[in-house]
Structure 1
Amino acid sequence: MNFTSDTSAPAHPAVIEALASVNIGMEASYGGDSVTAGLREKLAALFETEEFEFWLTASGTASNALALSCFCSSIGAVLCHEEAHIARDERGAPEFFSGGGKLQLLTGFGARIDREALETALGQINPSFVHETPAEVLSLTNLTECGTAYRAAE
């Protein structure tokens, strides 16, 4: 088995079958199609709200980078572990899509952010200093790239 990336393996037959089943007739593009409308209905039921937006993306990198760019401005920082997926495996995509937002790397055992490291990073922020990079997002990866998980107490 090779768990390097889901993008390097063939699609499961059920995925191909699902794609083929909707590949008939003409449909509107850019989210105006019946499949996207059906997905919107399912998500609305799942999250019990009609007030949301969603985007279908082609990869995990696109999903991560676009999601972070919604919350991190071009002058902000995403606090994450130094071994976090967004720090090691996204090739600068989060920084690019946020227009220059910074990944501020924190330490901790087993790729879990150490509480003291987080408290130190947050304590060093001076919002009245115009040249300070404000922390705008905290990224916690669970399960981590090392296979460890945060416990509820953490």
Structure 2
Amino acid sequence: MHFASDNSGPVPQQILDALARANTGYAMGYGAEAEMAEVTARIRTLFEAPDAAVYLVATGTAANVLALSALAQPWQTIFCTRPAHILQDECNGPEFFTGGAKLTPVTEAGKMTPEALRAAIDGEETRGVHGPQRGPVSLSQVTELGTVYSAGELGALCGVARDHRLPVHMDGARFANALVSLGCTPAEMTWKAGVDAVSFGGTKNGCLGVEAVIFFDPAHAQAFEYRRKRGAHLFSKHRYLSAQMLAYLTDDLWLENARAANAKCALLADGLRAAGADFAHQPQANMIFAALPRATHRKLFAAGAVYHLWEGGMAGPEDEPVTARFVCDWSLPEQEISAFLALL
């Protein structure tokens, strides 16, 4: 009954097999291996972006901060939401890798609105050299609160950024989960809406450890290459990243995993709803934020359930509702969901 994170699950056999095949003989390093050329071609086809620059790194943090470092100047600010991973969970990595750019939260909610974004942008670049200048907009898709921007919402936000000539970055750690939730194409969820760069996640959706950084304007390529090397994120044995991503993209494994995770989340959500849980947000992908009485949490933890409390702790009245986060990954056995719901 493991609902702590989609980082916690195993790796599909297809990816392990691909790593084993890559682990034979010799290959050029640093991304010059044949597999990387195939990865680039497939991602360009997938995103309908024949000129896109494609790079691989091992972690989501590296993907986000290095992408932003290629889009932001040190004297600028990056616009994001308060719960954004780049603000809450990357240990000031964006500030470090951009050389000092700050982060400006647009809203306390998981999603930002065009009105809030415009107000935040208009509030900056008002103090000359004494204040930060306007920089990139960073959107999380899926958001950190389990919600998903529609293609229309993305287009409206990108339109505000475009009005101010600002680039847009998408943190797509759960890109596949959002895509299958919307039922659109990768192009419709990115550059066709106005996104300039995306961190295309693999690790949370079954990979051992690989993320792609995609720039739809290849003018950013050289800056990214230097920053990736200088930041110590260019793998010498790069073929082990390429092998993972190639297997991930083969036979739509990335979509199959995301569909499985989202379906299991929907099953869990139905059971929680039937048990009277109070949802903080309508789950749209593979994450749920729901409140249960503290006594119920205590019972679930004692029975071996693994998940994180989000607001509040275990000290307090037993009947007080406490919000928790539940995350489903592609491999979660349905019998574990059934066992969990039976406890409720």
Match of 1:90 in 2: 90
* Cα offset, 1:108, TM superposition: 4.3
User: What SS does structure 1 have at the residue aligned with 2:78?
Assistant: strand
Q: Which has the larger radius of gyration?
A: 2
* Cα offset, 1:38, TM superposition: 1.7
Match of 2:65 in 1: 65
Match of 1:76 in 2: 76
1:79-99, Cα deviation, whole Å (9 max, x unpaired): 000111211111111111111
Q: CA RMSD in A?
A: 2.2
Structure ranking higher in strand proportion: 2
Q: Supply the distance in 2 between the matched residues of 1:39 and 1:115 (Cα, whole angstroms).
A: 34
* Cα offset, 1:126, TM superposition: 3.1
* Cα offset, 1:40, TM superposition: 2.2
* Cα offset, 1:72, TM superposition: 1.0
Q: Supply the distance in 2 between the matched residues of 1:44 and 1:149 (Cα, whole angstroms).
A: 24
Q: Supply the distance in 1 between the matched residues of 2:127 and 2:83 (Cα, whole angstroms).
A: 30
Match of 1:37 in 2: 37
* Cα offset, 1:65, TM superposition: 0.9
Q: Which amino acid aligns with 2:21?
A: S
Percent of aligned pairs sharing the same letter: 32
Match of 1:12 in 2: 12
User: Which stretch of the first structure deviates more once superposed, 40-49 or 30-39?
Assistant: 40-49
User: Which stretch of the first structure deviates more once superposed, 56-65 or 118-127?
Assistant: 118-127
Q: Supply the distance in 1 between the matched residues of 2:43 and 2:72 (Cα, whole angstroms).
A: 24
User: Which stretch of the first structure deviates more once superposed, 111-120 or 83-92?
Assistant: 111-120
* Cα offset, 1:53, TM superposition: 2.4
Q: Supply the distance in 2 between the matched residues of 1:149 and 1:83 (Cα, whole angstroms).
A: 14
Q: Supply the distance in 2 between the matched residues of 1:144 and 1:86 (Cα, whole angstroms).
A: 12
Q: Supply the distance in 2 between the matched residues of 1:88 and 1:119 (Cα, whole angstroms).
A: 22
- Work out the number of aligned pairs and report it: 151
Q: Supply the distance in 1 between the matched residues of 2:31 and 2:68 (Cα, whole angstroms).
A: 22
Task: Mark the runs of 5 or more structure 1 residues left unpaired by the alignment.
Answer: none
Task: Mark the runs of 5 or more structure 2 residues left unpaired by the alignment.
Answer: 157-344
The two structures have a TM-score, normalised by structure 1, of 0.84
* Cα offset, 1:2, TM superposition: 3.0
Structure ranking higher in helix proportion: 2
1:134-154, Cα deviation, whole Å (9 max, x unpaired): 121111223211112334356
